[in-house]
Amino acid sequence: MSSIKILYSQEEIQKRVRELGEEITKAYMGRMPHLVCILRGAVIFLSDLIRYINLPLTIDFMAVSSYGRGTKSSGVVKIIKDLDESIENRDVLIVEDIIDTGLTLEHLTKIFKARNPRDLKVCVLLDKESRRIVNIDVDFIGFKVPDEFIIGYGLDYNGLYRNLPFLGILDNLEVGGESFEKTT
């Protein structure tokens, strides 16, 4: 049986997301950021975050899936839903749920840079720093987290738990030996 330990409460998350919104407001003062939410894990984070950014802004969505084994990422990113709008000459801020090895964001930033944005920055809610295997500049970070499997506040395990209002650690994962397509 799996069990869930609370890592950050709803109140702690809201406090930190508000602070991030204020940091982003300062960083983009006088500009109009274009926030790109990486579906599906970052959707709750984006919807809270934009309400704490006191600037005109636009949003778009990209859905990707990474092929991995169980709970681990392979970094091979497949675009399932591309952006609706061009990012050329825009101040793009990628909004992602979690950076783990960094492979997904490395791949994504390459795709984005090739489309000639004026500026490209990255905002992640969670940073599992100890697991990084590639060097990625992350401009805004919500929380540094331990090497545990995290669920809630948009993050899933096999599609479930996204609706939990807190961030939790899922213990006793039942991970089979089979490769499967993991949603992000």
Residues in touch with ligand 5GP (CB under 6 A):
41, 73, 75, 96-105, 128, 149-151, 155-157, 184
Of 48, 100, 127, 156, which one is the catalytic site residue?
100
Of the pair 24, 109, the CB lying nearest ligand 5GP is at: 109
> Shortest gap between Cβ of 97 and ligand 5GP (angstroms)?
5
Give the type of residue at 40.
R
Of the pair 48, 127, the CB lying nearest ligand 5GP is at: 127
Q: Which residue has the tokens 């930033």?
A: 109
- The full DSSP string for 58-103 is EEEEEEEEEEEETT-----EEEEE--SS--TTSEEEEEEEEESSSH
> Shortest gap between Cβ of 69 and ligand 5GP (angstroms)?
12
Tokens, residue 173: 């994962």
Of the pair 32, 180, the CB lying nearest ligand 5GP is at: 180
> Shortest gap between Cβ of 72 and ligand 5GP (angstroms)?
7
List alpha helices for 83-172, DSSP H.
103-113
> Shortest gap between Cβ of 56 and ligand 5GP (angstroms)?
28
100 assigned to active site: yes
Of the pair 75, 142, the CB lying nearest ligand 5GP is at: 75
What is the spatial distance between Cα 94 and Cα 81, in angstroms, rounded to a whole number? 15
Residue 47's nearest CA partner among 55, 57, 37 is: 37
What is the spatial distance between Cα 148 and Cα 128, in angstroms, rounded to a whole number? 8
Active site residues: 100
